Amino acid sequence: MITELYCSVDIEADGRIPGPSSMLSLGAAMYDWEKRLLGTFSANLQLLPLARPEKDTMEFWSKNQAAYDATRIGMEAPDVAMNRFCRWVESFDGKPVFVGYPAVFDWTWTYWYLINFAGRSPFGFSNAVDIKTYAMATLRQTLRGTSKRTMPPEWFDEAPHTHVAVEDAIEQGALFCNMLKYRLDQP
């Protein structure tokens, strides 16, 4: 039997969409089914040459200056970072599933950067889980009625949401694993 692994990914960016804006950092945490943290990945990326930061996003970063500053340390060219990320994902013995919160944002950026700079995706093109959608289905609520505030407190480990990509990926991966356990424990 092939083992499925859950790669929780969080990205930070200076805008809403890749290309016109740049990914600032990518963090990932690889978990197995039993919530064992198998490893982490972190990369800060150089800005795309023709991209421009969006005003609203930069206003957010001005209120979170320490987290923004953390994205500008030790930057790598996007092709170097994304190829290193592919090799890291592929180094685990199992089939990786991309996990994000919200996956529609993190997946868009990650997939675009993977295809453009690494020429491939270790997740394929459809192996992604959105944590919010999984919570919606598990709790039998509407999507708009589902948020971290409406989720059971026992789903959350004591971890701050720092906007440092690797730290947020660890936090979100633990949340997803706790949700899996909750769902398996239900009759």
Quote the CA–CA distance of 52 and 21 in Å, as a whole number.
5
Strand partners, 13: 23
pLDDT reported for residue 103: 94
pLDDT reported for residue 1: 58
Say whether 24 sits in a helix, a strand or coil. Answer: strand
Task: Give 160's contacts (C-beta < 8 A, 6+ positions apart).
Answer: 167, 171
pLDDT reported for residue 28: 98
Characterize 74-86 residue by residue with b for buried, 16 or more Cβ atoms within 10 angstroms of its Cβ, and e for exposed: ebeebeebbbebb
Q: pTM here?
A: 0.94
Task: Give 14's contacts (C-beta < 8 A, 6+ positions apart).
Answer: 21, 22, 24, 47, 51, 53, 54, 57, 58, 61
Q: How far apart are the first and last CA of the chain?
A: 25
Instruction: Note whether 138 and 182 are within 8 A (CB).
Output: yes
Say how many residues make up the chain: 187
Task: Give 138's contacts (C-beta < 8 A, 6+ positions apart).
Answer: 179, 182, 183
Ranges under pLDDT 50 in the chain = none
Domain boundaries, the chain: 4-179
pLDDT reported for residue 160: 78
Question: What separation in angstroms does the CA of 147 have from each of 7, 35, 102?
Answer: 21, 22, 11
Tokens representing residue 112 in the block: 């675009």
Q: What is the CATH number of domain 4-179?
A: 3.30.420.10
